[in-house]
Amino acid sequence: MSEFFLVSGRQPQFDDIANIEVVQLNQTEDIVARAGSELFAPSDLTDCWYLRDTEGCADTLFTEAQEALLDGKPFENTRLYRAFSRILPEARKIALWYGSDWANLPLVSEAQTFMERLKRDIASPTAEAWMMFERK
């Protein structure tokens, strides 16, 4: 199982964040597409996408951030933080989940709360984050 996330909204530029790529919903794994169809309204699916490490998957971004925190490095220096700090201002919705467990995701509507919760979840032993961001 891997950590997954989907974003509905405009894609910011990620050119200066090393080794990440944007994947459109219509090019993603079946499990991500299925989650998207259950979590987002049809109107939100037209501009759904996510990021992954060019040599792995989205899970790589989460485990890399956890390793940085365990090494005492600031969360703000991770690729995951840098990516989400750009995603949040443009996103209408974001869903984060682990494996096939995307039911009943806790709702977060403030960007700061989202980032605080993400950091807390990444610092946990499993580095798994479950939540839905929806702009007010």
pLDDT at 126: 87
Q: CA angle 119-94-136, nearest 5°?
A: 100
User: Is the Cβ–Cβ distance between 21 and 61 less than 8 Å?
Assistant: no
Question: Residues 94-135: pLDDT tens digits?
Answer: 999 988 889 999 999 999 999 999 999 999 998 889 999 998
- Percent over 70 (pLDDT), the chain: 99
d(CA 116, CA 84) in angstroms, rounded, equals 12
Domain boundaries, the chain: 3-134
User: Is the Cβ–Cβ distance between 110 and 92 less than 8 Å?
Assistant: no
* Cβ neighbours of residue 97 closer than 8 Å, sequence gap 6 or more: 3, 4, 5, 35, 105, 130
The pTM score is 0.92
